[in-house]
Amino acid sequence: MRQSVSHRSVPQRPVPLPSRLAVGELAWRSVCSVGAALDPAGSALPDPDRIAAAYRSDRHLLVDGVAPDVWSPLSRFWQVTDGWVRTHGNYPHHAAALRAGLGLPPDAGADEVGERLAARTAEAATAAIVRAGGLCAPVRREDRSRDDALRGHPLVETTRVAHSPARPLRPASPTAPLAGVRVVDLTRVIAGPVATRTLAFAGADVLRIDPPHLPEPEWQHLDTGHGKRSALLDVAFDRPRLDALLADADVVVLGYRPAALAHLGLTPGSLAGRHPHLVIAQLSAWPGDDSPRGFDSLVQAESGISWLESSDTATPGALPAQALDHSAGYLLAAAVIGALRRRADEGGGWLVRTSLRRVAAELLGMPRSAEPAEQATAPVRTQEFEVAGQRVTTVAPAVRWPGSPDSFRAPRRWGADPAAWW
């Protein structure tokens, strides 16, 4: 089954995400895909300014009135002997692996990293860092033949992977059309958490599971944890408890690398074998079962987007938001809703999956302009929560359907809930 980004609705004004590429249009269609999945009549359209704010939610987040520092000094572009690379070191273990891959001590700073990278080729630097478990990608030029090939595959692929009886959706209210749907969230960073945040906004009971030894940056959890419960469980050593949760769940969302899922016994095939009633949603950086570690910024670099967004043709640039992440999250959420409806009508277990690189190919195939257009923006709609004694300010939700609420439910404190259904 193929899914494409909806073309049936047109915004009253462009989504203000100025770029040479059609970032605003991609964002509009991605958010609309969720509303259309919840309300096939499409009678409630989102606000373009809210979509832009949602895609840049990290820039509007305040904790006790202070904007958190969301980027590590090791997450940036670096010049190498034959061009540029992009690295990502926001997580401490990724920063440690980056330094190790370059043969640097654990306390090495950005200057030392830059010196080591300046003496290497992009290929050598990427290979060394990735081999050590770090994140690095060469900044490449656009490859139109590769993008054409990627667009030959569904943007979000939906396949039946198991046989099981039909499970009708529970009666729900207009404000919470997914009430009663249980979702196990095994994702991190942005794209997967945006997908599960969207399902929670529509009323699903979302339980996010994180390993105790890899804490999530506080700002990131507060930015994408709305409406979910948060529990700690090391699934590598306690898979029986996870399987007990999955036995009573409707959906599991996977955001770990395919190789890591295989190591944990959590590939879509193994999950479908043990739990044939599940809708399984899988997200990776690159397509295929050998996808390495990756983030939105690295996929922008590898796909040619960074050069297309360059302001001076000499140094790479970036999209006005982590648009691949956010678009993938909304598209995956829409596909999950569609798969739940198919399970209700036809039965079976279903797999929906996409990758950031596939979303990048979609963006690269859309119309583009010579220069970013000047676009006026409205004041950002925000809401406030009290979380663990802190005052958190975040943006209002972008997705709309008839009866949709105007605000998120508050995030829970990270890791504060039991790994059990209520």
Q: Do the beta carbons of residue 299 and residue 360 sit within 8 Å?
A: yes
What phi, psi does 351 have (nearest 5°)? -115, 125
pLDDT beneath 70: ranges in the chain: 1-8
Nearest CA-CA partner of 158 in 313, 360, 349, 357:
349
Question: Rg of the Cα trace of the chain?
Answer: 21
CA atoms within 13 A on the CB side of 378: 12
- The answer to whether 394 touches 385, Cβ cutoff 8 Å, is yes
Total domains, the chain = 1
* Nearest Cα to Cα of residue 89 among 101, 97, 79, 77: 97
Asked if 148 contacts 358 with a C-beta cutoff of 8 angstroms, the reply is no
Contacts of 331 (CB under 8 A, 6+ apart): 3, 5, 30, 33, 155, 156, 354, 359
- pLDDT of 8 reads 55
CA distance 311 to 298: 18
Structure-token pair, residue 294: 């990756």
3-state secondary structure 196-235: HHHHHHCCCEEEEEECCCCCCCHHHHHHHCECCEEEECCC
Pair 204, 178: CB distance under 8 Å: yes
pLDDT at residue number 373: 81
Q: What are the tokens at 95?
A: 């920063």
Edge-first strand order for the sheet with 83-88 is: 77-80, 83-88, 135-138
Distance CA 108, CA 260 (A): 28
The whole domain housing 237 covers: 23-68+153-291+319-395
The answer to whether residue 105 sits within a structural domain is no
3-class secondary-structure state, position 132: coil
What CATH number is associated with residue 54?
Answer: 3.40.50.10540
- Phi, psi (deg, nearest 5) at residue 16: -75, 75
Predicted pLDDT of residue 376: 75
Q: What is the pLDDT of residue 57?
A: 96
Any bridge partners for residue 185, and if so which? 208, 253
Q: How far apart are the first and last CA of the chain?
A: 34
Domain assignment present for residue 95? The answer is no
Q: Indicate whether 121 belongs to any domain.
A: no
Contact 280, 252 (CB under 8 A): yes
The answer as to whether 404 is a domain residue is no
- What's the pLDDT score for residue 10? 82
Q: Which amino acid is at 109?
A: G
Place of tokens 């820039």: 59
- HEC string of 5-37? CCCCCCCCCCCCCCCCCCHHHHHHHHHHHHHHH
Distances (CA, A) of 44 to 182, 327, 399: 25, 19, 9
pLDDT at 6: 45
User: How many Å apart are CA 333 and CA 331, to the nearest integer?
Assistant: 5
Sole residue written with tokens 């009290």: 386
Q: Which helix (H) or strand (E) holds 351?
A: strand 349-355
Eight-class DSSP state of 176: B
Distances (CA, A) of 113 to 68, 95, 300: 24, 11, 21
In a domain, 96, yes or no: no
Strands (E), 225-328: 229-232, 251-254, 279-284
| pTM across the whole model | 0.95
At 11 the pLDDT is 86
- Say if 134 falls within a structural domain: no
Task: Print the SS3 string covering 65-115.
Answer: CECCCCCCCCCCEEEECCEEEEEECCCHHHHHHHHHHCCCCCCCCHHHHHH
Determine what percent of the chain falls in helix, strand and coil, rounding each to the nearest 5: 35, 15, 45
Per the domain annotation, does 175 fall within a domain? yes
Task: For residues 39 and 184, give the distance between their C-alpha atoms in angstroms, rounded to a whole number.
Answer: 24
**Of 416, 409, 395, 56, nearest in space to 201 by CA:** 409
In a domain, 17, yes or no: no
Element (H, E) at 361: helix 356-364
